[in-house]
Chains A and B, each alone.
Chain A
Amino acid sequence: METKYIGKDGIEKWFNAIVASGKRVFAPVNARGQVDFKPVKKLSEVAGDYIQTTQSIKASVYPKAEVLFSYEKVNGKVNLTDFDPESVPETVLWKVHPCDAAGFKPLSAIFNWDTADKLHNAHLIKTSVISFSCAAADESCFCTSVNGSPGNTSGSDIQLTMLPDGGAIAEILSPKGEALVALLPSVFEADKGEKKEKYLVDLPARFNLEEVNAKLNKAFDSTVWKEQSERCLGCGACAFVCPTCACFDIQEDAHGSKGRRIRCWDACGFAMFTLHTSGHNPREHQSQRWRQRILHKFSYMPERLSVVGCTGCGRCSRACPVDMNILEHITSIAKQ
């Protein structure tokens, strides 16, 4: 790991060099009243003043719908065409928040637990993450309560911390980061010794993760799930904006003798998610589904995958049509 300084003009030149290298660049763009990651060509397209994108960058390494393989039926035989990792373009994610980059670890833990996931890994290998540390937060943010911080570098290849002069502290964190620097090394100057921490938002922790975990271990039969989930509408908004939710469905896109098998996003909050063909549904009630969401992230994942399934980005709270606020709910569980 190496720390450098990059000036205001240098940032733009370097950004242009990345675009010119032919890599796909995704960055937050303000459009239709929302800030979300979109392909960009110019630095001026990148959104400036916002706290959080509506959606996480999850889709860049776990597309909403992706073809697992395709097939063709010919004279009673079936020919398969495997997913081609080479079809995934080199991608640079620009101006990712640390809580988003931190989502890569739990996502990969899910996808690569025991059996490696060829598709997810193909995206990961081709993806470089340039994160920007956070100088601001809102009332939904709580990264510091879930092992994160406004300057957390987990999942980042390079992290920039913006300075008042328009330049930035550049932490080069991985070989992929070094490769990006190598696209225009001349704009990276020697570290000026600025302390990164000075430019990070102060975000006190709101709950203690171990304490929550200990409470949850005994909370399966608690009445808290029903109380908290009464207003939950059972949609998938929280899961789909989440940087770590990975539950999926496998579907068939068939056209005559040809077809594709597709993996697409799904959510444990949907009533149909666990419904058996027989009609039996192990998670019949919304309260059970809400419990699953919380326990999976804060209890099952830490135990099985050694990583908490939440990065404190607060997107689920912002997206929920009925104000199911995860920070409020977890805090209340911690206080129980």
Chain B
Amino acid sequence: MSEQNTYLPYLMTIEKVIKEAPGVKTYRLKFQDEAEAEAFEFKAGQFGEYSAFGEGESTFCIASSPTRKGYIECTFRDSGRVTSGLASLEEGSTMGFRGPYGNVFPMEEWKGKNLLFIAGGIALPPMRCVIWNALDLRENFKDITIVYGAKTVNDLVYKSELKEWSDRPDVKMVTTVDPGGENADWKGEIGFVPTIVEKVAPSAENTIAIVCGPPIMIKFTFPVLEKLGFKDDQIYTTLENRMKCGVGKCGRCNVGKLYICKDGPVFSKEELNLIPAEEY
């Protein structure tokens, strides 16, 4: 029978392990099967099911950019049975991956526009994929602004990349930590992400805002953007509801008529208005 088993993962080798923050790691993964590597394609915004054999599967976005070929990356926090199983793996170990799943950021439509990235905490990974995608095709976009915040300096992920972005003349990079989360060397902003956005955001004119963060941050950032003149079709986010299958069957991520895993995870605010906010 030619039918594929959706639940059978690709086997991946962990090529590189980067410690990002306490409990947070990034893995660079390579397909063990060359034909699978060849055939694999994804776009910014998609996610997958990553498995630690012996523990189970967990859902994260693909954190690397589709412009970087030959590997995928994922960033996760050691916070449950599966992620702690993943975190205990070493370079060279085998893990599983199913995907790519879900829809994509409409980057083609964003050509010629300014991009405003807003991310909080461990939600930078889905954004990082889009940021690198945009930076690798820099000529397609006008001004690029990144606002990234975390609870404390320690909790900021991709620290070397944050520096790389802030050193680039063609990126306006703003990092912030919650009040009390700063240390003696901290040179960035101090304050919650929505507050900082209000302070540093570019004009809403010809700008797309991409917001990624915990539900609470998203809910407080939307009104700020609205105040700044952003229309609902200029605001995008990516949701991370609990998922098991990733392909619209297991029922967990069903919110209103939509399935986050299939209709999302990327939504414009215009689309989000169609589903009840209390359920994501």
Contacts and interface: CB of A to CB of B under 8 A. Distances in A.
Nearest to B5: A118
A280 interface: yes
Given A82-B8, A277-B79, A299-B257, A116 B252 contact: no
Nearest to A85: B1
B251 A266 contact: yes
B106 interface: no
Contacts of B3: 85, 116, 118, 121
A248 B6 contact: no
B224 to A, nearest CB: 21
A77 B252 contact: no
Contacts of B7: 68-69, 250, 261, 263
Contacts of B276: 220
A332 interface: no
Interface residues of A, number: 52
Those 8 A-B pairs whose CB atoms lie nearest each other, nearest first: A247-B251, A68-B7, A252-B56, A254-B54, A115-B247, A282-B279, A78-B94, A118-B5
Nearest to A300: B257
A117 B246 CA distance: 13
B55 interface: yes
A249 B1 CA distance: 25
Contact of B6 (A117, A246, A274, A276): A117
| Range class of the B interface residue count | 35 or more
Interface of B: 1, 3-9, 11, 51, 53-57, 79-80, 83, 92-94, 96, 214-215, 240-242, 244-245, 247-252, 254-257, 262, 276, 278-280
Nearest to A261: B7
A278 interface: yes
A20 interface: no
B6 A118 contact: yes
Contacts, number: 124
B4 A292 contact: no
B54 A303 contact: no
Nearest to B250: A248
18 contacts: A69-B5, A71-B53, A78-B96, A80-B8, A85-B3, A113-B248, A114-B247, A116-B3, A118-B3, A121-B3, A247-B251, A252-B56, A254-B55, A277-B80, A277-B242, A278-B79, A282-B280, A300-B257
A109 to B, nearest CB: 10
Given A116-B3, A276-B241, A76 B8 contact: no
A231 interface: no
A199 interface: no
A251 interface: yes
A207 interface: no
Contacts of B51: 261
Contacts of B1: 85, 118, 122
Per DSSP, chain B at the interface is loop
Given A117-B6, A121-B3, A296-B254, A282 B11 contact: no
A25 to B, nearest CB: 24
Contact of A248 (B241, B245, B262): B245
A282 B243 CA distance: 12
Given A282-B280, A288-B279, A69 B8 contact: yes
B99 to A, nearest CB: 12
Interface string A71-107: 1010011101011010000000000000000000000
A106 to B, nearest CB: 12
Nearest to B90: A76
A314 to B, nearest CB: 22
A266 B215 contact: no
A122 B241 CA distance: 30
Contact of B248 (A76, A114, A119, A280): A114
B279 A259 contact: no
B250 to A, nearest CB: 5
B214 A278 contact: yes
A157 B6 CA distance: 28
A123 interface: no
Nearest to B32: A77
A302 to B, nearest CB: 10
A137 B63 CA distance: 56
